[in-house]
Structure 1
Amino acid sequence: MKTIAFHLNCLVQGGAERVVSNLANQFAKEGYKVYVATEWYDEDEFKLDKRVTRVHVGLREGDEKKNRITKFFLRVKYLKEFVREYHPDVLIAFAQRANYRALMAAGNSDIPVVISIRTDPVGHYDSFSDRVQQKWLFPKAAGCVFQTTGQKEFFKPYLQDNSTIILNPVNAKYFDVKRPEVKDKSVVHHARLVDFKNQPMLCRAFIKVHEKHPDYVLKIYGPDSKDGTKEILDKIIADNHAEDYILLMGGSDELEKEIPKGEVYAFSSDWEGLPNSLLEAMAMGMPCVATDCPCGGPRTVMTDGVNGLLVPVKDEDAMAAGLCRLIEDKELAEKLGKEAAKIKDITCGEAVFVQWRDYLDKVIAGKNRS
């Protein structure tokens, strides 16, 4: 039986956490022995299959009182202890700090480490300290999984050579969703309210849309991240007396029912890795207007004018024009939505799992040969 281990901070509901939980569960169902090594537990987490073993590798009682540098090395030490005790055939790290910890803990052992880039490298992997750690640690990686070509091209050739690009899996509940014949006169969006999602730009754009189409509303689904974005949105709504047509809907567990009621979907992020919200909207057959944000997530899955519309980041005029175009051209919107739904072929759980399985099996086979 092959043994694999995933390492990340926690399993709180987010993009990387969703991917890890889905993959861990699928590998367990396929007969692999699976461990998930996390730094901490959180209240609102993704569920793991009972066949998956979760192991705490974060700080222990009394460690929080120690200084920052000591805590950093303790985290590496505890992960190293995990690697020695469970000795997986491969260790897969998700997200920036987890990548560094995994390579420090296991990079000099006989256990191959696969790192995973889950965000835009610009602004996240380009500081002086990041460059120092990458020069030291990244050559130790047995491989890397990217989400987009833009991510891959950011890094040195030695990391690109042993890498692969794998999209995020989309929850099956978003596939084959039947959209109503008569849709609500609404533009819809779903994502947590956080600065880089740039919902304020979307609201300002929609105010312009509403001037041309006063019978349309904007519905924004998503929880508050508590970073101040919701307060900015509240002010935009109040200042423009838009309470009746810009609606903050909060989080929802039934997005597969709510999103398809709308006519058009809007994606407004300034940057992303590979945005799950956009993948989900496309899977539901929504005609989408999306910012062409770095590091190329939307462009990876969307061709402008074929299965959606791409507009420049932070450009509220272009966003407004795209939304108006799809509101006014029902035939185009229908065509784009049908093409978007074909994303199922490359983002269904089985397709994504097979790509991960084949890649990890290749890494493990390389370790065994060496």
Structure 2
Amino acid sequence: MTRKVVFFTTGMTAGGAERVVATLANALDSRGFEVVIAMVKGEESAYDLPPGVRLRSANLNPGLRNLPAAIQFYRQLLREESPDVVASFSTKSDIIALIFRLLFRSESQLIVSDRADPYTRNRRLQLACNVLYRWSDGLVCQSESVADYYRKRCKRASIFVIPNPLSEDSVGETTKKCRSRTVIAVGRLSEQKNHRLAISAFKRIRERFPELTMKIYGSGPLENELTEMIRMADLEDNVTLEGVVPNVMRQHSDAALFLFTSNYEGYPNALMEAAAAGIPTVTTDFSPGTAREIIEDGVNGYVVPVGGEDEAVEASIKALSGKLDLAEVIAASQRVRKRHRTELILESWLNVFGPLGRKRLPL
């Protein structure tokens, strides 16, 4: 009997959680699973999927107004697909699936996955997640820090820690050759990513290393503001906004530095890929604390306080001055690759799914 897994998510735009869904869907399809990706909004995937992976969409804008329609879509999805397992991959889809579970009986296993920083949610949403997640068959967290949050608040939940899988295509081979003079930053051009800090810090870094340039990859609502900031800082010849480009770390495996300045994150693929590519890194110690699970402070990079421009500048100068041992950076990159291998991550997910037989929980 073909085993069926439905991934349920808000959409399949070019984001970190969506990339994980695509990676897992590809891996399961190659193993003979029937895979469906069900979306609340949107009709297409920003990531390549094999022909065997089907997409379904409710074509709704997420929000309380459309919650009844979203629940009805989910109910129809379960009736028509009759999956062995549903794996939900966004806060909104988690809530939809769990409300349905409380209202109706379902024979499908329901695994929810928190892909965000629970500490930064508003209190109402925190309470909703803390109450609802305990009704899942399993709660997957990307990091120990997020798992610790839920261990204190969802004592009935079965909690698992599974980091994101690494696509080898996204990073290529680590390089032992001389570093370029390019600093890279990756992330949506939004308040969360705090690219203002990266630009301000880079201006000061160039006082020590005037030959450097910086490329910022991503798109978002702050594009015009950041463009003006670059102009006002007289950095137009040195800092460029490159837009959304796939596999940045493969293209820049010889980058001088990866500068990551987020205020908060879930489990950032960009940081994981930079570490796997062996690029010296300076990152903020963003909430909920995941940076230190990826970057070994003083080995393959430096972890600095959130918003700490002085600390970011000082750490960047140390990294650019050769204070990090290249052999240790490369050795750390191999540890990151090993821990995030797609096959290893897939096995962890399959262990969470358990025997893929139908399961009915008493409500």
With normalisation by structure 1, the TM-score equals 0.88
CA–CA separation in structure 1 for the residues paired with 2:55 and 2:3: 17
- Structure 1 portions without partners, runs of 5+: none
SS of the residue aligned with 2:262? Answer: coil
Distance 1:190 1:14, change over 3 A: same
Corresponding residue for 1:5? 6
**Alignment partner of 1:215 out of 186, 199, 211:** 211
User: AA paired with 2:113?
Assistant: S
CA RMSD of aligned residues (A): 2.5
Q: Superposed, which structure 2 residues align to 1:162-311 within 5 Å?
A: 162-179=158-175, 181-220=177-216, 222-225=217-220, 227=221, 229-253=222-246, 255-311=248-304
SS of the residue aligned with 2:252? Answer: helix
Q: Give CA deviations for 1:337-361 in whole Å, capped at 9, x if unaligned.
A: 4423431101121111111112112
Q: Give CA deviations for 1:298-354 in whole Å, capped at 9, x if unaligned.
A: 112222112321111111111111110011126535532442343110112111111
Corresponding residue for 1:149? 144
Q: Give CA deviations for 1:205-237 in whole Å, capped at 9, x if unaligned.
A: 1111111221222222x2321x1x222322222
CA–CA separation in structure 2 for the residues paired with 1:89 and 1:254: 33
* Residue 264 (structure 1) shift: 1.5
**Alignment partner of 1:115 out of 112, 116, 121:** 112
CA–CA separation in structure 2 for the residues paired with 1:119 and 1:177: 29
Work out the number of aligned pairs and report it.
Answer: 358
CA–CA separation in structure 2 for the residues paired with 1:278 and 1:81: 38
User: Given the alignment of the two structures, is residue 101 of structure 1 paired with residue 93 of structure 2, yes or no?
Assistant: no
CA–CA separation in structure 1 for the residues paired with 2:11 and 2:141: 20
User: AA paired with 1:197?
Assistant: K
Distance 1:180 1:158, change over 3 A: closer
**Alignment partner of 1:85 out of 53, 77, 80:** 80
* Residue 244 (structure 1) shift: 2.2
Q: Which moved more, 1:179-188 or 1:138-147?
A: 179-188
User: AA paired with 1:106?
Assistant: R
Distance 1:70 1:283, change over 3 A: closer
Corresponding residue for 1:346? 339
CA–CA separation in structure 2 for the residues paired with 1:279 and 1:143: 25
Q: Percent identity?
A: 24
With normalisation by structure 2, the TM-score equals 0.90
CA–CA separation in structure 1 for the residues paired with 2:243 and 2:224: 13
* Residue 118 (structure 1) shift: 0.4
CA–CA separation in structure 2 for the residues paired with 1:288 and 1:330: 12
CA–CA separation in structure 2 for the residues paired with 1:181 and 1:23: 33
User: AA paired with 1:304?
Assistant: D
CA–CA separation in structure 1 for the residues paired with 2:127 and 2:347: 33
User: Given the alignment of the two structures, is residue 21 of structure 1 paired with residue 14 of structure 2, yes or no?
Assistant: no
User: AA paired with 1:101?
Assistant: I
Corresponding residue for 2:33? 32
* Residue 133 (structure 1) shift: 6.0
Corresponding residue for 2:311? 318
